[in-house]
Chains A and B, each alone.
Chain A
Amino acid sequence: MASSPASGSRLWETDPILTVEHLFMRFGGLVAVNDLSFNVGRGDITALIGPNGAGKTTVFNCITGFYKPSAGRLALAHRRAATPAEIDAATAIGERSLATGDAAVYLLERLPDYRVSGEAKVARTFQNIRLFTGMTVLENLMVAQHNALMRASGYSLRGLFGLPSWGRAARAATEKATFWLDKVGLLERADDPAGDLPYGAQRRLEIARAMCSDPILLCLDEPAAGLNPRESLELNTLLRSIRADHGTSILLIEHDMSVVMEISDHVVVLDYGTKISDGTPEAVKSDPRVIAAYLGVDEDAVEEAGAEIEEIVQTGAAS
C-alpha cells in the first residue's frame, strides 16, 4: 500500500478510495447536505472546508455511519479503486460489502457505525474531543485495538485462563500502543489519565487512538482547532508521516487555512450543504465562488480576501 505523493497527479480522479455520490441529509425540513458528490484519493490528504454550518461535520457523520444519509451512496474501496461496475454490483445485490478477488467495496451508508470502523476501516476523531478521560493514555490505545484483541483473547475465554497466546497478543498490542505514543510524543504520559492531558496533547492522543484501530481512511474533524502555531506545525508533520509511513489516506475538516493549504493535496469546499469548489489547493483558493462564500459577494472584499489568503499561504509555506 505504498502511497504516491500527489504532485500533479489527480489521485482522486484516477484512484479514489472513497466515492461520495449524490449524498443528501435532511433533518426534518432542513437540508444539511444537498446532492454532494466528491472523491477522496488513495494516499491523499483531502480537506473538506467551508464556512460554519456548511454541513461538513454532517458529511463526516454520514461517512462514519453515525448518521444514516437520507439518500446517496458512499463507496469505500479497499486495496485498489473500485470500478463503477463493481460499485453498482454491490449496490444491486443489496449487500453491505462486496469482495472481488483483489479488491473489496464497502457501501458505508449501509453499515452501522461500529462496522464502518471495525470492518471498512474508517477511523475518525471528533470536533469536541471524545477521549475516555477516566482511563489512562495507554488504556485509551488498548481500547482502540478492541476487535483484534477480542479475537486474540478467544472472546475472553482464552484470556480468562491466561493462555500464552493471549499473553503474546496483549504484549503486541502494548507495543503498538507504545509505538503510537512515541510518535505523538506522549510516551512519558502513558500512565496518566487522558483527562489530565493538556488540550493539544488530547488532540494528538485522539489521532493516535484512531490510528491504533488500523484504518485505511482517517477522518479528522478540525484537528488543529485550539492548537497554538507550534502545535499546528507538529500536527502537519504527524499527518504527513501517517500518510507516508502507513499509507493511510486522510480526510480532514479544517478552518485553519495554513494547515489546509500547506498539507492537503485536494480541497473540497462546501457551502450550505452543496459543493462549490473541488480541486487542488491552488485552484480552490483562487476560485471566486469560494472567496464569495467565505466573505460575501462584495467585490472589494473578495479581492482583499484573495490577498489575505495568499499572504497566509505564503507565511504558512515559509514557516
Chain B
Amino acid sequence: MDIFVQQLINGLTLGSIYGLIAIGYTMVFGIIGMVNFAHGDVFMVSAFIALICFLLLTTVLGITSIFLALAIVLVVAMFFTALTNWAIERVAYRPLRGSFRLAPMISAIGMSILLANFVQVSQGPRNKPVPPMIGDVIVLMERDGYQVTLAWKQVIIMVLTAALLGGFWYLVQKTSLGRAQRACEQDRKMAALLGINVDHTISLTFVIGAALAAVAGVMYLMYYGVVNFADGFVPGVKAFTAAVLGGIGSLPGAVLGGLLIGLIETFWSAYFSIEYKDVAAFSILAVTLIFLPQGLLGRPEVEKV
C-alpha cells in the first residue's frame, strides 16, 4: 500500500511531463496531420537550453534563489525552444506541404537525427548532471521505516502542469487563435479562404507545442538532475504513445494519455521489471494503434471512398 501510494505520486509526476510533450504531438497532428517525429528531440534540446541557462545563472551570475533561477530558466528555455521549433517548421516541413504524404514524416525523422547529433557534437556525448535543485520532501506517511514522500519538485511539476493546461485550454477554446487553429484542423483551404492566415496559425501551433515541451524539459532536468543528447528519443516515443492512447488530436486525451503512460511505466518498473519498462511502453503503443487507433477520447475515422 505504501509502495503503491509512492508509485502513484511518482507516476503522476512522470505522466505530467509526458502529457506536456504529448500536447505538442497532438496539436501538430491535428492541424497538419503529420507525426512530428522530431518533437522528442525538441524536448531534449529544451532541456539542454535550460541546463546552460541554469549554469549561467547560478555559476556566473551568482543567483542564489533557486525559485528565481527556475523562473528565469523556464522563460528562457521556452523562448529559445519555441524559436527552434519555429525554424524547424519553416525549413523542414513547410516546403513539403502538398508533397506526398510521407514526405514530412521522413523530413521529421531526419530532423530528429539532426537535432540529437547537433547536441552531441556541440555539447559532447557525456551525461550532464546538475546539482539537486530542490531537495525538500514532505513525508506523507511512515510505516515500518518506509516513508511515502512527496517531493517539492513533484508538487511544482504537477501544479505547473495543471496551471499551464488551464491556460492552454483557455487559449484553444476561447481566443481567436484557438478558433483559427480549430478551423485549420477542419479544412485548411476553407480557413484560408475565410481570411485566416494558415501559415501563421501553423507556425504558432509549433511555437506553442515547443513552449510546452520546454516546460517539460525544464521539469525533466529538475526532476532527474541529468540530461543526455539521446534523451529525446525514448521520452518522445512515450509521449507520442500518450497522444495516441488519449486519442490523437484530442488535447484532454493527450494529458490523460500522458498520465496513464507515466503511471503504467512506474508501476511496471516497481512491480514487474525495470529492464522491460521501455518494452512495455512500446508495446502499449503497438497495441493501442492496432486495437484502438482512435484512442480513448478521439473520434473514429470513417474511410472516404
Contacts and interface: CB of A to CB of B under 8 A. Distances in A.
Nearest to A221: B305
B302 interface: yes
B144 interface: no
Interface in B176-221: none
B303 interface: yes
Interface residues of B, number: 3
B86 to A, nearest CB: 35
Contacts of A67: 305
Interface in B277-305: 302-303, 305
B302 A27 contact: yes
Interface string A53-66: 00001000100001
Nearest to B299: A28
B302 A66 contact: no
Contacts of B303: 66
Nearest to A27: B302
A294 interface: no
Nearest to B303: A66
B102 to A, nearest CB: 15
Contacts of A61: 305
A61 B302 CA distance: 12
A27 B303 CA distance: 12
A132 interface: no
A210 to B, nearest CB: 15
A126 interface: yes
Contacts of A126: 305
Interface in A25-45: 27
A203 B118 CA distance: 51
A117 to B, nearest CB: 13
B146 to A, nearest CB: 51
Interface string A64-90: 001100000000000000000000000
Contacts of B305: 57, 61, 66-67, 126
A275 to B, nearest CB: 22
Interface string A105-130: 00000000000000000000010000
A66 B305 CA distance: 7
A157 B302 CA distance: 37
Nearest to A58: B305
B88 to A, nearest CB: 30
Contacts of B302: 27
Interface in B112-167: none
A66 B302 CA distance: 11
Contacts of A66: 303, 305
Contacts of A57: 305
A57 B302 CA distance: 15
Nearest to B302: A27
B27 to A, nearest CB: 25
A220 to B, nearest CB: 14
B300 to A, nearest CB: 10
A126 B303 CA distance: 14
A67 B302 CA distance: 9
Nearest to A113: B305
Nearest to A66: B305
Interface in B96-116: none
B213 to A, nearest CB: 34
A27 B302 CA distance: 9
Nearest to B300: A28
A248 to B, nearest CB: 22
B21 to A, nearest CB: 32
Interface in A122-142: 126
Interface string A197-208: 000000000000
A263 to B, nearest CB: 25
A126 B305 CA distance: 8
Contacts of A27: 302
A11 to B, nearest CB: 29
Interface string B224-236: 0000000000000
A57 B303 CA distance: 13
B60 to A, nearest CB: 59
A129 to B, nearest CB: 13
List the 4 closest A-B pairs by CB distance, nearest first. Answer: A66-B305, A61-B305, A27-B302, A126-B305
7 contacts: A27-B302, A57-B305, A61-B305, A66-B303, A66-B305, A67-B305, A126-B305
